[in-house]
Every structure is written in structure tokens, then in C-alpha cells.
Structure 1
Amino acid sequence: MRIELNDLAAFLLEAKRRTYAGLDDDATVTAALLDGSKQLEHQASPYAYRDIYFGMGFFVGQETVSKDGKVVWSMCYSGGADPDIVDRESLLVIYKFLRRALLAGRIDMPYRGPASFEVDDMSYRNNVNGTLARFHGVEEITQRGETLYELRYSGGLLL
């Protein structure tokens, strides 16, 4: 099966904007495959996107993209807020900012957000190595120099 990386990247950006980045957990499907998980999905033929994750303060998950019913790309991720941040309101502020950064994702880096993104006193940084075919990276959110959030991710084509 042949995969056009530009088409896959464009689909990934669209899927992320129509699921967590754009709609938060409102994009969650009602009958998740795994008990206790959040599951977000988007389809635009011939592609289908699925993101399944567990947790909130700290979370782990996996995104997959299928083409014509066959999984062709995947990314695993884990991370979250600093363990000292436990109140729900602080977590919601961090994840609202994260979604804004993810919405600013670019076609040349469709994994997560852009290399950098700032609003007021919060900063998002994303350091990725590799290409859409095989990559790994770390994203971080800081506020006035203090790390609030960190996530590690890796993935690539499964062909």
C-alpha cells in the first residue's frame, strides 16, 4: 500500500483539529473500545483516525491512522502535568493552553503542535526528531520559567 506523506500529514492535522485540539473531550465517542478510556475518532475517506488515552493529570495513549481499513501509522504518547499540580482548575488551564498550541500545528510537523507557541506568560515548546515515517519528540509547557507539563511521543509508518 502506498502512502503519500503529505496527504497523511494533512489528514492528521484535520483529525487533531476535529477531535481533542478543537473539541476537547466533547469529541469522545460514547462506546469506547477500552473501559475507562477516552476515545476520539475522525474519518475522511480513505483515512480514519483514532486516539485512545487514559488519565488526566498524567495520561498515556495511542493514535492510529487507517487507510482503507488497514492501520498504516501510529503514535504513542505519555506525560502530563507536573505531579505537584493536582487541582482540577489548574489542570484545565494547562490543557486549554495545550489545545491552543495543538491547533497551531503545521503540515511539516503534524505530530503535535508547532516548534514554539506563546500566549501571555505561557510557552509551549515541541522538539521532534525524524520525519512522519519515523519520529520521536518531547513537548513542554512552561509559565514564567516553571515547567507545568511535559509529554514524550514517538511513532511512524507501519508498512
Structure 2
Amino acid sequence: MISNKIFLDFLLNAKKTTYASQGDEASVIPKLEGSQQLEFQNGDFFYRDIYFGLSYFVGQETVYYQKTPLWSMVYSGGVDNTCDQQATKVIYTFLGKALRQVNLENPYRGPQTFVNGDFIYSDSNEGTLEKFKGMEIISLKDREVYRLNYSGGFIK
């Protein structure tokens, strides 16, 4: 039996170390053609995040313990259709800052609220680590420019 604290410490560290800090630069050679794949390992725990796409993307994070899948989260979302490549880059830079604020109270994506300049990140979710779902939104000057939905839980 793994304590929630040990699991959460690993999960938060993995999230902060991969996409939140390095974006696509953290990618390893992907196992699935056309994907980005991020990985992090510490002791018996292993984290893998695989996703497809950029302005709209779908993906899955999985935590393994002793090579057995333990927990997973699926997600999909992206930027507003009116965002060009430069705007998308700025939004995703802000997203990385928000995701580095992931915490024990809100361990799925970022914090409930994070503000930087004219950008506002918000995350709402329900459930527990066992089974949860949620949504994150980024707004710029009161206009939604990004949305992502996610769900997951422990694998039984």
C-alpha cells in the first residue's frame, strides 16, 4: 500500500519537472508515432505523459509503481481557433507558469487560480485522486483563449 503523501510528492514533482518546466523540450523518443512523450522516474515510480497535437491536443498521463500502472489522467483541449502561432506560444508559456504552481490541494493540473499580467488561469474539478474530472481555462483580458478538460483516477 502506497501512502497518498508519497504518491502525491512523486506526482507533483513529475508534473513540475516535465511539461510545466520544459514543454516539448522534455520529450523523449516517442513510442507512438506523431506524439510527444515526456517521462520522469524516481525510485519505483515512473511517470509518462503522451500527447498528440499542438493548438488542439489530446493526451494521457500515467504513473507506474514497480512497472505496474497505478494512476492515470486523460485530457484534451487547446487554444481558441482565432489564435495564431505567436499567440499560441504566448498562451502556452503562461500555461507552463501556471502548471508549475500545481499543489497538494489541486494536484491534477495547476492551482485553482493563477494570475500573471492580463492572463488568468482557473481550474475547477470534482472528486478525489481515486476518481476525478475537471476543466482548466485561460482568459486574456476577460476573453477565453484556452480550455482543457481532464478526468482520471487510480487504476484497479
> Which TM-score bucket, shorter chain as reference?
over 0.9
The answer as to 2:123 corresponding to 1:126 is: yes
**Counterpart code for 1:12:** L
Looking at structure 2, the residues matched to 8 and 109 of structure 1 have their Cα atoms a distance apart, in angstroms, of 14
Looking at structure 2, the residues matched to 54 and 3 of structure 1 have their Cα atoms a distance apart, in angstroms, of 31
The answer as to 2:108 corresponding to 1:111 is: yes
What is the root-mean-square deviation of aligned Cα atoms in Å? 0.8
Structure-2-length-normalised TM-score? 0.98
For residues 56-78 of structure 1, the C-alpha deviation after alignment (integer angstroms, 9 at most, x for no partner) is 00000000000000000000000
Question: Which SS does the other structure have where 2:106 is aligned?
Answer: coil
**Superposed displacement of residue 39, structure 1:** 0.1
Unaligned ranges ≥5, structure 2: none
Q: 1:76 aligns with which of 74, 86, 101?
A: 74
Question: Which SS does the other structure have where 1:36 is aligned?
Answer: coil
The answer as to 2:90 corresponding to 1:93 is: yes
**Superposed displacement of residue 6, structure 1:** 1.6
For residues 83-133 of structure 1, the C-alpha deviation after alignment (integer angstroms, 9 at most, x for no partner) is 121x21110100000000000111121110000000111000000101111
Looking at structure 2, the residues matched to 77 and 6 of structure 1 have their Cα atoms a distance apart, in angstroms, of 24
Looking at structure 2, the residues matched to 68 and 83 of structure 1 have their Cα atoms a distance apart, in angstroms, of 41
What is the aligned length?
A: 156
**Superposed displacement of residue 3, structure 1:** 2.8
Contact 1:9-1:108 at 8 Å conserved across structures: no
Seq. identity, %: 45
The answer as to 2:135 corresponding to 1:142 is: no
**Superposed displacement of residue 12, structure 1:** 1.0
For residues 40-60 of structure 1, the C-alpha deviation after alignment (integer angstroms, 9 at most, x for no partner) is 000001100000000000000
Looking at structure 2, the residues matched to 88 and 58 of structure 1 have their Cα atoms a distance apart, in angstroms, of 12
Equivalence for 1:8: 7
Equivalence for 2:20: 21
**Counterpart code for 2:49:** D
Looking at structure 2, the residues matched to 114 and 132 of structure 1 have their Cα atoms a distance apart, in angstroms, of 15
Between 58-67 and 103-112, report the one with greater CA deviation.
103-112
Contact 1:9-1:132 at 8 Å conserved across structures: no
